[in-house]
Amino acid sequence: MYTYYLISFFLVILCAGLGIRANMKVNSAYKAYGAMPTRSRMTGYDTATRLLRNNGVKDISVGRVQGTLTDHYHPTKKIVNLSESVYGDDSIASVAVAAHEIGHVIQKKSGYFPYKIRSVLVPLTNFGSRLAIPLVLVGLILDVFVGAMQNSDVGFYLAMAGVALYGLSTIFALITLPVEFDASRRAKKMLVAEGILTEEELPFADKMLDAAAQTYVAALLTSLVYFLRFALWVLMLFGGGRRRK
């Protein structure tokens, strides 16, 4: 058990370090390419509205939210929210971020399959995160008070259902990767096709978007470690899944 906790602690610290490094890389890239004005002089808002219009999207508005790099697309509210640092800024970093969010809009419009899966997983993941631990606790109680008397594994199976629900967050993080990478691919293609960036400016946008993508890789690794840690903890509670005589 001591070895389990030691390895678990080491992996959690490692993932935390990867997450910090990824966020530092994003902030560094945004600082560098946020100081490079585009030759087109288009802002994040200009970029978003042009890409929406030229892709035939008429039911999505562009709003502004507080913060830095808090940009997001809200499909149910039909709005692309750009952060204050992106909305009115004409840097390469800002137009890249704005185009990335429009990439998600185009994914939804075109029925991009991984995007549809992720949309379905959102409510399921939220539900699973709330129910996972209660199911494990109820399963443990049943195992102690019912399983011991009736030699039943119902408590163990209920706890494993909790583990499976907990794992939905890892599946969500996994399916997020192709969604984010594809949105960036679409963004880079649109930026050049619409004349917002030149071919010479594109590599800088690519570096900005690549840095942002690394945060999702770090999030997946962190989610995987926490899932394995949780699953092993539950198995240990139930004696490794073996029925105790």
Q: Which residues are catalytic?
A: 101
**What does each C-alpha distance from 143 to 136, 152, 232, 236 come to in angstroms?**
10, 8, 17, 13
- How far is 35 from 52, CA to CA, in rounded Å? 25
- How far is 24 from 42, CA to CA, in rounded Å? 26
- How far is 82 from 202, CA to CA, in rounded Å? 21
Pick from 35, 49, 31: nearest CA to 196: 49
Are the C-beta atoms of residues 84 and 67 closer than 8 Å to each other?
A: yes
Torsion of the alpha carbons at 78, 22, 94 and 209, rounded to the nearest 10: -80
Tell me the one-letter amino acid at 43: T
